[in-house]
Structure 1
């Protein structure tokens, strides 16, 4: 089996991906049996390719799931933790831009007074 191209995997549906994953896992188990029974060298070298293909299929499945979740939570008020940006702990705890721009009543009064002084 030749290496799978990821862009082809992205076009497939979830059921197609799961069936392909099942086939690849079955093939891998056959190759492992051949390895134990002393199979041909070309079968042994195929193990690496099949394992890589399994990883690619699993990656595409998880990426599709995450993209669907992002779409589902796009208009919601809160995002699940695993969909939020990771960043660093300090950055996550910072005030938002909106919170930083807010002023107390005293600050607003001071701004009004200072603009009146400049105008007169």
Structure 2
């Protein structure tokens, strides 16, 4: 069995993907039985291809499921932790631009009554 194309997998529905996954798992089982029975070494390379095809199918299934959940939470205030941007701990806890720009009433009065002084430097 040749390497399966991920682009083709993305076009399939969830039901078709699970069917494909079952097919590859059955094929892997058959290949492992043949390997135990003492078949040719060429079968062992085929096992590798089938295992990788299974991984590809599982990856596409997971991506589709995550995209569906992401669409459900689009525009909502809270989203699941595994869908949030990872970044770093410091960046996640940092103030937003609007929060940084906010000033207290007292600070606003200070800025109005005592603006920053500008000095002209004589050359």
Shared fold, TM over 0.5: yes
Q: Could you say which structure has the higher helix fraction? A: 1
Counterparts of 1:10-49 in structure 2 under 5 Å? 10-49=10-49
Aligned length: 115
Is there any run of 5+ residues in structure 1 with no aligned partner, and where? 116-120
Q: What does residue 109 of structure 1 align with? A: 109
Cα RMSD over matched residues? 1.2
Is there any run of 5+ residues in structure 2 with no aligned partner, and where? 116-123
Deviation, structure 1 residue 93: 1.2
Deviation digits for residues 51-89 of structure 1 (CA, Å, limit 9, x no counterpart): 000000000011111111111111211111111111111
| Structure 2 residue 64 is the aligned partner of structure 1 residue 64 | yes
**2:38 alignment partner, SS class:** coil
Q: What does residue 8 of structure 2 align with? A: 8
Q: Distance in 2 between matches of 1:67 and 1:8?
A: 18
Q: TM-score, normalised by structure 1?
A: 0.90
**2:87 alignment partner, SS class:** coil
Q: Which sits farther off after the overlay, 8-17 or 34-43?
A: 34-43
Please identify runs of 4+ aligned residues in structure 1 that moved more than 4 A: none
